[in-house]
Amino acid sequence: MSLNEDSAEEAFTFKGGMLPMTVMELGSADPERIRQQLENKLTQSPAFFQHTPVVLSVEKLGESHLALERICAVCRDHKLLPVAVRGGADPIRQSAWALGLGWFAPVEERRARPLASVEKTPAARPGDPDLATGEPADAELDAPMPEPHESAPALQAKLYRGTVRSGQQISAAHGDLVVVGAVNAGAEVLAAGNIHVYGALRGRALAGMHGNLEAGIYCRELNAELLSVAGNYKRLEDLDPQLLGASVEVHFYQQQLEIKPLS
C-alpha cells in the first residue's frame, strides 16, 4: 500500500454516542388497540407525530411471539418510525432483525424513591461526590430557586437525587417529581403532577401525563429537547431563544404551552 493510500481520508468512522430516543412501552400486543390509542394521541398532540423515531419496548408483555410487523405498520401509519425493539424472547429478536430493526436487551429501569423514604443528607458542595453517581456534584445546585406558584396538591411525590443520564427514565406515576440534579440530553422525566428540576433540563420533561392540565414544569436552566403538559408539546426548536439557559416555569394556558421566567 502506498503512502498516499494509507493517508487517504476515511469514508466513515464508527463512534459511540447516546442519541435522544423515545421509548414506546407496549402494554398490549393487539395492533388494533395500539391503533386506537395512537389515533386518540394524535388528536391530543399532533406535533409529536412528526416522523419521530421510537424504540418499541415489549418487556411488559411476556410474549414469546408478537405481530411485530403489524405493530410497526400501525406506528408508521401514524408518522412514528420504529427503529428498534427492546426486550422479548429470541423469536421477537429474530423478527426485529428480519424487519431491519435493531434489538436491545431488556433493561431494568431505576425507580425513584418515594419522597418520604429519602434520608436527609447534607447539601453537596462543589467537588463533593454525587450520592447517586459518585461524580463531583455541580456547584449550580447550591443556588436558590424561586418558589413556583401554587397548584393542585399532589397525592404522592418522588425525589430523585443526582443526574438523570441519557437513556434513563424517571417517573412519578401518582404525583410530583423532584429532581435534585440535572436531566441530561436523551433522558426523560415524567410525572402525573408537576416536575421540578433543580439543575439543567436538557432532556425531555412530560408533566400531567394522565391529562392534568394544571400541572407545570419548573427548572433552573432550560435547554429541554421536549416539554409536555398533559400531552401538549413543544420541542427545542419551538422555544424562545431568549429563554434558553434561564430559570423558567411551563404551564398550559389559552390552549398552548406558556413558558416564562421564574419570578
Indicate which CATH number applies to the domain containing 183. Answer: 2.160.20.70
Is residue 7 assigned to a domain?
no
| Confidence at residue 237, expressed as pLDDT on a 0 to 100 scale | 85
Residues 85 and 133 in one domain: no
| Confidence at residue 22, expressed as pLDDT on a 0 to 100 scale | 81
Residues 73 and 182 in one domain: no
Residues 99 and 44 in one domain: yes
Is residue 82 assigned to a domain?
yes
| Confidence at residue 18, expressed as pLDDT on a 0 to 100 scale | 59
Q: Which residues have C-beta within 8 Å of that of residue 166, sequence separation ≥ 6?
A: 18, 20, 184, 185, 186, 187, 203
Residues 169 and 218 in one domain: yes
| Confidence at residue 176, expressed as pLDDT on a 0 to 100 scale | 95
Residues 240 and 131 in one domain: yes
Is residue 1 assigned to a domain?
no
**Angle at CA of residue 61, ends 60 and 62, nearest 5°:** 100
Is residue 257 assigned to a domain?
yes
Q: Given 80, 104, 128, which residue is the final one in a domain?
A: 104
Question: For the chain, which ranges sit under pLDDT 50?
Answer: 1, 109-144, 146, 148-154
Residues 243 and 118 in one domain: yes
| Sign, Cα dihedral of 31, 36, 39, 45 | negative
* Domain count for the chain: 2
Is residue 9 assigned to a domain?
no
Interval 129-139: pLDDT, tens:
444 444 444 43
Residues 135 and 216 in one domain: yes
CATH code for the domain in which residue 87 is found: 3.30.70.260
Residues 130 and 40 in one domain: no
Structural domain harbouring 215: 113-261
Q: Given 104, 125, 143, which residue is the final one in a domain?
A: 104
d(Cα 100, Cα 104) in Å, to the nearest integer? 13
Is residue 6 assigned to a domain?
no
Residues 142 and 90 in one domain: no
Using CA atoms, how far residue 27 sits from 37, 56, 156, in Å, is 11, 11, 24
| Confidence at residue 233, expressed as pLDDT on a 0 to 100 scale | 78
Phi/psi of residue 17, nearest 5 degrees = -170, 160
Other Cβ atoms within 10 Å of 154 Cβ, number: 19
Residues 146 and 224 in one domain: yes
Is residue 13 assigned to a domain?
no
Cell, residue 192: 402525573
Predicted model pTM? 0.47
> What is the Rg, in whole angstroms, of the alpha carbon atoms belonging to the chain?
21
Query: What is the side-by-side strand order in the sheet with 177-180?
Result: 113-114, 158-161, 177-180, 195-201, 216-222, 248-253, 256-261
| Confidence at residue 64, expressed as pLDDT on a 0 to 100 scale | 67
Interval 20-71: pLDDT, tens:
678 888 999 899 999 999 988 887 766 667 778 889 999 888 776 788 889 9
Is residue 208 assigned to a domain?
yes
Residues 56 and 186 in one domain: no
Residues 32 and 154 in one domain: no
